[in-house]
Chains A and B, each alone.
Chain A
Amino acid sequence: MAREVAIVGVGMHPWGKYPEKTIVDMCVEATLKALQDANMNWREVGFVASGCSPWFHMGGLLIGNYMPERLGETGVPVVNVFNACATPISALREAYNAILNGESDTAIALAADKYSGGFFVPDKYVGPRDPDYLRFRMIGLTNPTVWALWARRRMHVVGTEPWHFAKVKEKNSQHGALNPYARYRKVFTVDEVLNSPMVCDPLTLYEICATNEGAAAVVLCAMDKAKNYNSKPIKVSAAIVATSQFGDPTLVIPYLSRSAKDALPIHSEIRNAAQRAYKASGLKPSDIDVVELHDGCSYHELAYLEAILDLELGESDRLLEQGATTINGKIPVNPSGGSSSLGEAISAQGLAQASEIVWQLRGEVGERQVKDAKVGLGQTYGLMGNCSICILERAF
């Protein structure tokens, strides 16, 4: 019988702008909160997996190594991982696997980011033939530009209307208003969203999430030791990464072209990760009670939900119209308010999702509580066709 792994503590630094704090300061705060939530002492942590934030060099790339430096030099093994926006759940996966394979009985996954400067720009080291340079230099192809190309195609194929994109924002703003960790807590109406400045037709300003700062940490242990730390353990049923596949028509960022073979449905990396996560957990889409997904813009919430739950193209629009994705709906999506309300702290977002799901499964989120949630799924998509998914289950 394979070992089971539990989450026994989570902690978040609120999402927002904190010029007075370093990335390490924010990460330490989240880590101490998570340890306190787990009733665990830093000395008991047997493995550290940290998500890297590449924009901050040492402080961001070796963030895991700053934890022993700040909290106690115990000799704990530390790994720092980067997987673009799939980074945080990749760190969770490292911590999970360290316990699963018996390397340690306890572990912590942590991540932080402070990139709140707007558009991403190409790395100066990649050289002129790199697609990430070419897309900006030759076309002006930003991330939201590509999302808009996907969104327009969806409108053509399944009949999504600009109203649907605006409705996603309205819904997430209602959820985010209830979340004390969210940076944006104002409720917007569909009309206000549609009337906000156009960024990349059909996507308006309020439909695109802002880059942001935040930090989060998740404390894990072997399930048979979980009750020593927390009376409400949450089982990690899957922590998975997958990439996109040839034959998927999605123009993957940062590339300039794609084969028109159309042998697979769009967003294959998400379908691949979801299928692997269902296989690992022995669960199926209908078992999922709450979803935290990566809403870089409103388009993503519609398209990604279909890929995660293996729905027909266009079905998310119907769910949205019926109110099924609200907190009180049939399949609540982003009860935290999502990246739309938190803003996106790239390298930490997936651990904010994991924290939200843990609180939901414990029944600790008050007004934004999804009734009787037992199983939750978190998903982030990373640049170059990388997707990470975790499935968490109530284990008490």
Chain B
Amino acid sequence: MQRHQKQKVPAVEGLFSWPSDDPRLIVSRCKSCKTCYFPAVSTCVNPECDDKEGVEQVHISRRGKLWSYTIQHYPPPQPFPYKSKQEFAPFAVGIIEFAEGIRVAGMLTTTENLGIGTEYEMIVDKLDEDEENEYLTWKFRPTKQGG
């Protein structure tokens, strides 16, 4: 019996461009002070900015530098995909600093050779699935230079 191909869909819409060959995180950038916010927001919260012109949604660079990291040794609670302690494998979480002046948290694709300041790139990867869909999130992967 032939199984139909599951659809690949973002676990939550509007966080990264999808479908895309070059997916990027979607941020709000203040038109006045250029501060970026992720996820996208409707107003700039910089108290020194008058925000006269509002914010616009833009994509940020694919690549950035690791600012901090940790390795998660215990399964996080749901709504993170459920894993029993036996089937759970430790994974890394990092904060990446982008040239646009924003730092964003996300899962890293590896727990090996983590170092602050090394270069990572954003990718889209599977989080979990149900009968119909495969659900996607953003992750950060070391670039050749970084890894």
Contact = CB atoms under 8 A, between A and B. Distances in A.
A141 B73 contact: no
Interface stretch (A11-19, A53-61, A93-101, A125-133): A125-133
A145 B97 contact: no
B58 to A, nearest CB: 14
Contacts of B104: 256-257
Interface centre among A121, A150, A202, A256 (most CB of B within 10 A): A256
A129 B14 contact: yes
B39 A121 contact: no
Interface in B78-124: 78-80, 91, 93-95, 97-98, 101-107, 116
A4 interface: no
Given A261-B35, A261-B101, A137 B79 contact: yes
B12 A134 contact: yes
Contacts of B137: 138-139
A199 interface: yes
B12 A140 contact: no
B68 A149 contact: yes
A134 B39 CA distance: 9
B107 A140 contact: yes
B70 A200 contact: yes
Interface residues of B, number: 45
Given A138-B15, A201-B73, A259-B35, A149 B78 contact: no
A156 B68 contact: yes
Contacts of B103: 249, 251, 257-260
Contacts of A261: 35, 101
B102 A257 contact: yes
Interface in B121-147: 127, 137-138
Contacts of B77: 118-119, 121, 136, 142
A322 to B, nearest CB: 28
A68 interface: no
Contacts of A249: 103
Given A134-B39, A149-B69, A260 B12 contact: no
A188 B75 CA distance: 26
B9 interface: no
Nearest to A152: B68
Nearest to B49: A246
Contacts of A129: 12, 14, 39
A10 interface: no
Given A138-B138, A256-B39, 14 more contacts: A119-B77, A122-B79, A138-B137, A139-B105, A149-B69, A149-B70, A149-B94, A149-B95, A200-B73, A201-B71, A246-B46, A251-B103, A257-B102, A259-B103
Q: What are the 9 tightest A-B residue pairs by CB atom distance, in nearest-first order?
A: A140-B76, A148-B70, A257-B38, A153-B68, A140-B80, A201-B71, A137-B79, A200-B70, A149-B68
Interface of B: 11-12, 14-15, 27, 35-39, 45-48, 67-80, 91, 93-95, 97-98, 101-107, 116, 127, 137-138
